[in-house]
Chains A and B, each alone.
Chain A
Amino acid sequence: GGIITQTPKFLIGQEGQKLTLKCQQNFNHDTMYWYRQDSGKGLRLIYYSITENDLQKGDLSEGYDASREKKSSFSLTVTSAQKNEMAVFLCASSIVAGGNQDTQYFGPGTRLLVL
């Protein structure tokens, strides 16, 4: 088995700030993902990476940067936090890269609140 760790658990920022979220996995999975979860809107894919130093944009990449410097870690940066923004950011990893049969393992999430 393995585990995905996300830090911090809660993040409170101010409008315009650059905020960084971190994710670590010990599954030894090649592929990692960042999703955003808003109340009533399900999960939306922000960025994914199929290997170290690879970055691919998802449906919601505008306003975000990502970094995959090691196989085990994947960081997400909110480039300019928006006032009253509130969401949960979920990191996931998987063995198989893509498709319907891609079982994803999720971390517990980082809860963001922008004042």
Chain B
Amino acid sequence: SQLAEENPWALSVHEGESVTVNCSYKTSITALQWYRQKSGEGPAQLILIRSNEREKRNGRLRATLDTSSQSSSLSITATRCEDTAVYFCATAKNNYAQGLTFGLGTRVSVFP
């Protein structure tokens, strides 16, 4: 089973609407990261949220972290067509692990 899992698998919205992707993880963490991967590109980090933070913002993006339920969410407000991408949450097996473990991703489609 995955160390981190996003849900839903896919969703679609119209431009201007808000969208939320959820992530559940299975290990004690010091931080969790959200990445976005557009078609034909590599993933790019959006937000890194540390275990002592409950919320973090980056422009139209807002990430939350609940360590008691081992869950996180990423919300995008005022969506644009260019937000169409696969969104991943990522973490590491432990603080000394090399490389991140990514979930399978949520495919978000934003239509005009």
Contacts and interface: CB of A to CB of B under 8 A. Distances in A.
Contact of B92 (A58, A100, A108, A109): A100
Given A40-B104, A90-B43, A100-B30, 6 more contacts: A50-B98, A58-B98, A98-B98, A100-B31, A100-B32, A105-B44
Interface of B: 2, 29-33, 40-45, 48, 50, 88, 91-92, 94-100, 102-105
A13 interface: no
Contact of B42 (A40, A56, A108): A108
Nearest to B51: A100
B94 A99 contact: yes
Interface of A: 4, 31, 33, 35, 40-43, 45, 48, 50, 56, 58, 90-92, 97-109
A60 B50 CA distance: 28
Contact of B97 (A4, A42, A99, A104): A99
B48 A99 contact: no
A33 B99 contact: yes
17 contacts: A35-B99, A42-B104, A42-B105, A45-B98, A90-B42, A90-B43, A98-B92, A100-B29, A100-B32, A100-B91, A101-B48, A102-B99, A104-B45, A104-B100, A105-B45, A108-B42, A109-B41
Nearest to A106: B42
- Determine the main DSSP class of A at the interface with B: loop
Contacts of B102: 42-43
A41 B88 CA distance: 12
Contacts of B104: 40-42
A48 B42 CA distance: 17
A92 B42 CA distance: 9
A109 B98 contact: no
A4 B42 contact: yes
Contacts of A50: 98
Contacts of A109: 40-42
